[in-house]
Amino acid sequence: MSICLAGYVGTVALTALGLKKTEQENIPAVAVMGAAFFTASLIHFRIGVTSVHLTLLGLTAIILGVKAIPAILAGLFFQAVLFQHGGISTLGVNAMIMMTSALFCHYSFTLLIKGKHNKSLYISFVAGGVTLLTVLLATVMTSSLLILSGDEFKGLALLFSVSNGTLALIEGVLTGIIINRLLKIKPEMVLS
Q: Could you list the residues that contact other proteins (CB under 8 A)?
A: 1, 4, 15, 19, 22, 24-40, 42-43, 45-46, 56, 59, 63, 70-71, 73-75, 77-78, 80-82, 84-85, 87-89, 150-156, 158-159, 170, 173-174, 177-178, 181-182, 185-186, 189
Shortest spacing between CB 115 and other proteins, in angstroms: 25
Whether 171 and 132 have beta carbons less than 8 Å apart is answered as: yes
For residue 150, the minimal CB distance to other proteins (Å) is 8
The H or E element spanning position 8 is: helix 2-21
CB of 56: closest distance to other proteins in angstroms?
8
Phi, psi of 47 (to 5 degrees): -125, 105
Minimum CB–partner distance for residue 39 and other proteins (Å): 4
Closer of 108 and 180 to other proteins (Cβ) = 180
In terms of CB distance, is 119 or 154 closer to other proteins?
A: 154
Q: Which is nearer to other proteins, 78 or 104 (CB)?
A: 78
Q: Where are the alpha helices (DSSP H) in 41-153?
A: 57-64, 68-83, 91-112, 120-149
Q: Let me know: does 146 contact 156? Beta carbons within 8 Å.
A: yes
Task: Give me the least distance between CB of 122 and other proteins, in Å please.
Answer: 19
CB of 89 to other proteins, least distance (A): 4
Q: Which is nearer to other proteins, 15 or 108 (CB)?
A: 15
Q: Which residues on adjacent β-strands are paired with residue 69?
A: none
> For residues 36 and 133, which CB has a smaller minimum distance to other proteins in the complex?
36
Angle between helices 27-40 and 68-83 (to 10 degrees): 50
- List Cα–Cα distances, 60 to 56, 89, 100, 153, in angstroms: 6, 24, 13, 30
3-state secondary structure of 46: strand
Residue closer to other proteins, measured from CB, 48 or 115:
48
Helix (H, G, I), strand (E, B) or coil at 53: strand
